[in-house]
């Protein structure tokens, strides 16, 4: 089987690049994106083919993905991630909201949505004959790359800042990557990898510095559309760091419209950041095309602690053309929402996911979103990977006081 990729192009200048070759960034230093022969897909693949696919996860969208050969699809048991309605919005948010859903990406291999992008990048690396991959990471990307590269038999080197959460570093090593802590920031890890390319002959899979992670992330949008009966919610809240998720979903929606698989009523895309690192929000508010570097970035939501994004103009474009906006929330608000969702719904969100809940609540309170609108909040990883409060209640087995169990 061949893929339906027609060519690739610079997302800024539109300069064309050929399919079937290894690409990084474009001549002018911007991301390169994948283009498909959508007319041919439309003629050859009815939507029902997707619906009846036996593939349980994102590989069910293969006609819209860049991998040509079935044997190059690297798999680790991907699933269609559930959308779970909030049943107790009043207790959590302080108002009734009828159709608010969490799309729970924690169910994917390695416990985060990073599996989508890195699964795709590794599969394309396999197809193009790359033998060694390297990545700078703050956490979830490293373990996802490690898992898929190991599965594919590709060598993998991961460089993390030495303050990366220990669990991410250890899971990465346990899944077969050569794992190293660097006394510097993620950008400096990236520089070590770039500078070593000649000597090591490795290929860097930094965010948006290769074309295929976006294609994997795009499947969040395709999956959401299929799951909702080829309709989309009114509003999507997405925790935005490097922006692959929001850019990918927006790209996927355009492709679905061109295929005639959905109508053109698209969701407003809301980019959620932390007040401790909000370069996209600042650029959005100032009406800028690009976002400036955010100094001294700090937030508990480590997945969105990204001070500078190569795809900044693409994030801002999807937000603007969808009629959405960018919004930041404090870590206190995030942690409070994480707690409330756990206490009231039995869902342990990651802080990035909880940030979208806080952003939704604040948006309703300020009138940006109405409670009658349908909303999807993305929980991008499992809460199990993050620090949690201690349990302080100790019981002496020889002297049990039952009154302490009475909570009402
Ligand atoms: C990486 C990451 C994000 C942000 O990713 P984008 O590239 O902006 O899509 C959000 N949440 C978590 C948990 C992450 O690991």
Place of tokens 């009734």: 96
- Atom 14 of ligand 1: nearest residue by CA position: 303
- The tens digit of pLDDT for each residue in 211-247 reads 999 999 999 999 999 999 999 999 999 999 999 999 9
Selected residue with higher pLDDT from 148 and 389: 148
Intrachain domains 5-74+112-204 and 83-107+218-385 with the same fold: yes
Band of pLDDT at residue 1, cut at 50, 70 and 90: low
**C-alpha 296: how far from chain center:** 23
Nearest Cα residue to atom 5 of ligand 1:
241
Count CA atoms within 13 Å of residue 121 on its CB side: 33
According to the model, what pLDDT value does residue 138 have? Answer: 85
Note the pLDDT of residue 319: 98
Q: Reading across the β-sheet that carries 268-274, which strands appear in turn? A: 83-85, 100-104, 375-379, 235-239, 268-274, 325-329
Options 3.40.47.10, 3.40.50.1100, 3.30.565.10, 3.30.365.10; CATH for 83-107+218-385 is 3.40.50.1100
Average of per-residue pLDDT values in the chain = 96
Residue 400: per-residue pLDDT: 94
Taking the C-alpha atoms of residue 195 and residue 180, their distance in angstroms, rounded to an integer, is 16
Please report which helix (H) or strand (E) contains residue 182, including its range: strand 178-182
Quote the ligand 1 centre to 238 CA distance (angstroms): 9
pTM to 2 decimal places: 0.96
245 lines ligand 1 (CB under 6 A): yes
Q: In the chain, what are the domain boundaries? A: 5-74+112-204, 83-107+218-385
Ligand 1 near 240 CB (within 6 A): yes
Considering the domain 5-74+112-204, what is its CATH architecture? 3-Layer(aba) Sandwich (3.40)
Q: Does the beta carbon of 274 lie inside 6 Å of ligand 1?
A: no
């Amino acid at each position: 089987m061949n893929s339906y990729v027609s060519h690739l192009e610079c997302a800024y200048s539109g300069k064309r690049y050929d399919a079937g070759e290894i690409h990084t960034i474009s001549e002018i230093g911007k991301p390169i994106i994948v283009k498909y022969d959508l007319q041919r897909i439309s003629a050859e693949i009815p939507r029902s083919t997707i619906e009846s696919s036996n593939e349980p996860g994102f590989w069910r969208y293969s006609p819209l993905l860049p991998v040509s050969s079935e044997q190059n699809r690297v798999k680790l048991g991907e699933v269609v991630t559930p959308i779970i309605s909030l049943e107790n919005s009043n207790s959590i948010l302080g108002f009734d909201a009828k159709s608010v859903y969490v799309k729970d990406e924690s169910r994917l291999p390695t416990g985060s949505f990073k599996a989508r992008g890195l699964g795709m990048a590794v599969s394309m690396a396999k197809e193009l004959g790359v033998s060694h991959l390297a990545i700078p990471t703050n956490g979830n990307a490293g373990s996802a790359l490690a898992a898929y590269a190991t599965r594919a038999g590709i060598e993998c080197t991961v460089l993390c800042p030495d303050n990366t959460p220990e669990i991410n570093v250890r899971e990465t090593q346990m899944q077969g990557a050569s794992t190293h802590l660097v006394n510097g920031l993620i950008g400096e890890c990236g520089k070590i990898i770039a500078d070593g390319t000649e000597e090591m002959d490795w290929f860097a899979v930094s965010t948006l510095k290769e074309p295929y992670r976006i294609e994997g992330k795009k499947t969040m949008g395709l999956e959401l559309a299929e799951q909702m009966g080829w309709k989309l919610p009114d509003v999507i809240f997405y925790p935005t760091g490097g922006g692959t998720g929001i850019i990918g979903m927006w790209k996927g929606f355009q492709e679905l419209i061109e295929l005639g698989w959905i109508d053109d009523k698209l969701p407003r895309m809301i980019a959620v950041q932390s007040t401790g690192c909000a370069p996209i929000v600042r650029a959005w508010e100032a009406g800028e095309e690009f976002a400036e570097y955010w100094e001294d970035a700090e937030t508990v939501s480590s997945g969105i602690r990204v001070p500078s994004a190569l795809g900044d103009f693409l994030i801002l474009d999807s937000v603007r053309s969808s009629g959405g906006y960018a919004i930041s929330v404090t870590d206190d608000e995030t942690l409070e929402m994480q707690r409330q969702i756990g206490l009231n719904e039995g869902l342990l969100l990651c802080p990035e996911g909880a940030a979208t809940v806080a952003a939704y609540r604040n948006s309703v309170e300020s009138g940006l979103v109405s409670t009658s609108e349908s909303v999807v909040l993305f929980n991008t990883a499992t809460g199990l990977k993050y620090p949690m409060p201690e349990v302080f209640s100790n019981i002496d087995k020889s002297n049990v006081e039952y009154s302490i169990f009475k909570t009402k």
